[in-house]
Amino acid sequence: MNFTYPKNERLKSKTTIGLLFSEGKSVSKYPLRLVYCQADENSEEKIKIGVSVSKKYFKKAVDRNYFKRVLRETYRLNKNLLLENVQEPYSLMFFYQTKDKLSYEEINIKTVQLFEKFLQQVNKIQDLDKKSEL
């Protein structure tokens, strides 16, 4: 398994990010939140992800940047959960939403739980689509 986070997996498109906030669905596992929507079929990557930490909770950029690094690292190490279980391409936005400064280990555990919850929700949607086609 390739445990990298290359540039082509990063969510940079302003239109896609706007689409996430207007039409995206959400999954939460305190203190993390994942907003997602299905990407274009011609997308070269299965998953495109962006991370965000609120200025409301962490006034200093040093703190925000630390938690963004931790979120990217937990994604990088656990992205195989997503890539192995998702058929269509998705755009994701990953948020850290608390004032609490959790340790890396706690954030990593919550990330795995959040990804599993996301996959359950996506699989339910795919099952419903298959049933409606029949």
| Distance (Å, whole) CA 87 – CA 80 | 13
Domain count, the chain: 1
CB of 89 closer than 8 Å to CB of 46: yes
Report pLDDT digits (tens) over 46-55. 899 999 999 9
| Residue 84 within a domain | yes
Q: How high is the pLDDT of residue 41?
A: 76
Give mean pLDDT, residues 23-35. Answer: 94
CATH number of the domain that residue 18 is part of: 3.30.230.10
User: Which has more confidence, 2 or 67?
Assistant: 67
| Residue 2 within a domain | no
Range of the domain at 117: 7-133
| Residue 1 within a domain | no
Measured CA distances, 79 to 50, 55, 62, 98, 129 (Å): 13, 26, 25, 23, 25
| Residue 127 within a domain | yes
| Residue 32 within a domain | yes
Measured CA distances, 35 to 1, 17, 30, 50, 52 (Å): 25, 10, 14, 10, 11
| Residue 108 within a domain | yes
Q: How high is the pLDDT of residue 132?
A: 73
For the whole model, what pTM was predicted? 0.89
